[in-house]
């Protein structure tokens, strides 16, 4: 069974390299185009079921791919970034490079933020619930941090070992039916765009 993890299209805050966490901004014109271009991949993959995070940017993405009425799950929300929410990636690296890279590796928790292990467990619980809830391949419209958490939970690939997830792309994990603890990696950053290494996490 495939779990297709789609990152929402670029938002206005993504375009500014600004960390969003559980705050929200709308998809940018570029983000809307990214999502529209990804629809051909989804048509080929033809998932049987769809779920999304309950945040606005993922709901907007789900609407654009023709699944605006799919269920949403708050367990699939982005990582709560606490006091770093709204700050830009270049600003944080300039001021706190060591802390930024430790945070990106899941080893530092900004004030008011969700610890990485708590976040990873939340995401894994939500995805396992939806994998077990029905038959056929599952598409989850989510966030970059959620995809990194899934890779850590199901493949034991830590967040420091993966490049950023490009908006409007898909990551595919393959599970044996009924065996939701571990998976095989089928694809990462799949889409009609060149992976963007500078995108905000």
pLDDT tens for residues 136-161? 999 999 999 999 999 999 999 999 99
The Cα–Cα gap between 80 and 114 comes to 5
80-90 pLDDT, tens per residue?
999 999 999 99
Q: Which residue(s) pair with 140 in the sheet?
A: 5, 51
- 31 Cβ contact list (under 8 Å, min separation 6): 8, 9, 10, 11, 14, 15, 167, 168
Catalytic residue numbers, as ranges:
8, 78
Whether pTM exceeds 0.75? yes
């Amino acid at each position: 069974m495939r779990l297709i993890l789609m990152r929402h299209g670029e938002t206005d805050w993504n375009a500014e390299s600004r960390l969003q966490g559980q705050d929200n901004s709308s998809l940018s014109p570029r983000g809307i185009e990214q999502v529209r271009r990804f629809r051909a991949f989804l048509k080929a993959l033809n998932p049987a079921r769809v779920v999304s995070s309950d945040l606005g940017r993922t709901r907007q993405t789900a609407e654009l791919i023709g699944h605006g009425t799919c269920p949403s799950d708050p367990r699939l929300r982005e990582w709560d970034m606490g006091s770093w929410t709204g700050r830009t990636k270049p600003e944080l690296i300039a001021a706190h490079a060591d802390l930024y890279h430790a945070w990106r590796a899941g080893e530092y928790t900004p004030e008011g933020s969700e610890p990485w292990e708590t976040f990873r467990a939340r995401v894994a619980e939500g995805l396992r619930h939806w994998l077990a809830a029905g038959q056929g391949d599952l598409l989850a419209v989510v966030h970059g941090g959620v995809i990194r958490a899934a890779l850590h939970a199901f493949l034991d690939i830590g967040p420091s070992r993966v490049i950023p997830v490009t908006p409007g792309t898909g990551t595919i994990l393959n599970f044996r039916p009924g065996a939701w603890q571990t998976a095989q990696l089928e694809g990462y950053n799949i889409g009609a765009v060149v992976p963007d290494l500078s995108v905000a996490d």
